[in-house]
Amino acid sequence: MPTETVELINHLEDHFGIHLPEKRWRGVSTPTDLVDLISDLVYVRSGYCKNPRAFNQLRSVLVDSFGISRSEIRLDSDLNLVIPKDQRQRFLERMAQESRMDSIPSLRLPNSHQEPVFYVAALGSLFTVVAVPVAAELGGFLVAGSILGLAAALCVVCNRLLTPYRTRLPHGLSTVEAWVARLAKPQPSERTQKIWSRAEIRDSVRTIVTNVLNLERFDWSWSLVNDMGID
């Protein structure tokens, strides 16, 4: 990017506490386009968000990497309804990296599958509790150990058989708000918490563009390239 463009972007990012993706910047041709872009990044139309930077980070991942419509991404959005089933594991892997988690969370079974699995597990546990002491008394510890080994092997096999059915995001990590809280910096600056009005954005954009480009006159309809001199 030309030096003036980089300087303008740096000033805007620092002032609004946001990141302006290069892909989105290519669609900006006038100061009005720039206001629209920044408004889209700093507004949280579904309500007050204490961590706009974290929200924008998550939204960028969902839009750029998973093709999710921006209109579907709100603080109260259920990501199980937004992200396709076959993309959810990749989403967890990506977000574990973004939020520097020690391990990748696992998908869980849908609620409709959890009850029968619980009963099967309970019956298996009951069988083991009853069978092991009986086997130890009748056949010795070798038989009892064999039963325990068989039970452990069955657990592993059942877990693998259930893997294709694990399609739901984990409890506590299934909403936009939950991931925003995890992504948020421990001490967000006061500026990143500000909710901007469009009038404030317009005033700030006009001041920054005028100062960085050393303009004596300014018009919202001017081209940043042809009229304001950005290469």
Q: Would you list the DSSP string of 98-110?
A: HTT-SSPPPPB--
Instruction: Give the other-Cβ count within 10 Å of 40's Cβ.
Output: 14
Supply 102's token pair: 């020690």
Whether residue 222 is contained in a domain is answered as no
The residue written with tokens 């939950």 in the block is: 178
Last residue of a domain, one of 165, 180, 198: 165
For residue 87, the model assigns a pLDDT of: 93
Same domain, 118 and 208: no
For residue 84, the model assigns a pLDDT of: 93
* Mean pLDDT to the nearest integer, 102-131: 69
What φ, ψ does residue 91 adopt, rounded to 5°? -65, -45
Give the whole-angstrom CA distance, residue 216 versus residue 185: 39
* Mean pLDDT to the nearest integer, 182-205: 68
Same domain, 125 and 26: no
Same domain, 52 and 94: yes
Give the whole-angstrom CA distance, residue 224 versus residue 29: 6
Same domain, 30 and 141: no
Whether residue 223 is contained in a domain is answered as no
For residue 123, the model assigns a pLDDT of: 66
| C-alpha R_g of the chain | 27
The residue written with tokens 């937004």 in the block is: 82
| HSE, side-chain direction, 13 A CA sphere, residue 37 | 21
Do the Cβ atoms of 88 and 107 come closer than 8 Å? yes
Query: Counting beta carbons within 10 angstroms of the beta carbon of residue 129, is it exposed (0 to 12), middle (13 to 18) or buried (19 or more)?
Result: exposed
Same domain, 116 and 94: no
More confident residue, 28 or 191: 28
Query: Counting beta carbons within 10 angstroms of the beta carbon of residue 39, is it exposed (0 to 12), middle (13 to 18) or buried (19 or more)?
Result: middle
Same domain, 57 and 97: yes
- Average model confidence (pLDDT) across the chain: 78
Beta bridge partners of 168: 108
More confident residue, 142 or 107: 107
More confident residue, 116 or 157: 157
Whether residue 27 is contained in a domain is answered as yes
Domain count, the chain: 2
Instruction: Give the other-Cβ count within 10 Å of 230's Cβ.
Output: 17
Give the whole-angstrom CA distance, residue 19 versus residue 57: 8
pLDDT band at 103; cut points 50, 70, 90: confident
pTM above 0.85, yes or no: no
Same domain, 22 and 102: yes
Give the whole-angstrom CA distance, residue 212 versus residue 140: 85
For residue 138, the model assigns a pLDDT of: 61
Q: What is the pLDDT of residues 138-169, one digit of tens each?
A: 666 666 666 667 777 777 777 676 667 788 99
For residue 216, the model assigns a pLDDT of: 87
Same domain, 88 and 202: yes
Do the Cβ atoms of 82 and 47 come closer than 8 Å? no
Q: What is the pLDDT of residues 34-80, one digit of tens each?
A: 988 888 777 544 344 567 778 888 999 999 989 999 888 888 899 99
Same domain, 17 and 122: no
Lowest-confidence segment of 102-111, 123-132, 203-212 by average pLDDT: 123-132
Q: The domain containing residue 98 runs over which residues?
A: 3-106+172-213
More confident residue, 122 or 206: 206
For residue 130, the model assigns a pLDDT of: 63
Same domain, 100 and 187: yes
Do the Cβ atoms of 19 and 13 come closer than 8 Å? yes
Task: Tell whether the model's pLDDT for residue 113 goes beyond 80.
Answer: no
Same domain, 102 and 143: no
Same domain, 37 and 86: yes
Give the whole-angstrom CA distance, residue 24 versus residue 37: 8
